[in-house]
């Protein structure tokens, strides 16, 4: 898969996630970014549970929101599935690392 196809695929995944992602609110919340690994079946459904890998941007003022941020990211993935993605590019989207931050909800 070339860079243009990868960018188009990433944009399509984010478009499908956006209606379901609601970032928590609070001080420094825009600094949080949660990364989630997702395995997908050929039909776009989840092949196992999404796994939170890491959250960056943690500060003293947003620390209490980290768990909620992670839970909402996983919830968005579950609600958005099954993803509607091009079957011929399955090798490029069967295993994803998706990042969630305040910008995705805007």
Q: DSSP for 52-68, please give it.
A: EEEEE---TTTGGGHHH
81: closest CA among 35, 49, 51, 52?
Answer: 49
Kindly report, residue by residue over 47-86, the tens digit of the pLDDT: 999 999 999 999 999 999 999 999 999 999 999 999 999 9
CATH number at residue 58: 3.30.1150.10
CB 96 within 8 A of CB 13: yes
pLDDT of residue 69: 97
Q: Which domain holds residue 95?
A: 3-105
Percent of the chain with pLDDT over 70: 100
At residue 1, does pLDDT exceed 90? no
Q: What is the mean pLDDT of residues 27-53?
A: 97
Number of structural domains the chain divides into: 1
Helix (H) or strand (E) holding 98: strand 95-101
At residue 106, does pLDDT exceed 80? no
Kindly report, residue by residue over 92-105, the tens digit of the pLDDT: 999 999 999 998 87
The span from the CA of 82 to the CA of 5, in Å, is 20
Kindly report, residue by residue over 75-86, the tens digit of the pLDDT: 999 999 999 999
């Amino acid at each position: 898969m070339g860079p243009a196809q990868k960018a188009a695929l990433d944009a399509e995944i984010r478009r499908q996630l956006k209606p379901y992602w609601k970032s928590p609110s609070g001080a420094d919340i825009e600094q949080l970014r949660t990364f989630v690994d997702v395995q997908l079946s050929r039909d776009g459904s989840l092949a196992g549970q999404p796994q939170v890998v890491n959250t960056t941007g943690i500060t003293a003022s947003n620390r209490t929101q980290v768990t909620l941020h992670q839970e909402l990211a996983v919830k968005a993935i579950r609600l958005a599935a099954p993803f509607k993605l091009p079957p011929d590019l399955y090798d490029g989207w069967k295993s994803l690392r998706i990042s969630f931050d305040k910008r995705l909800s805007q």
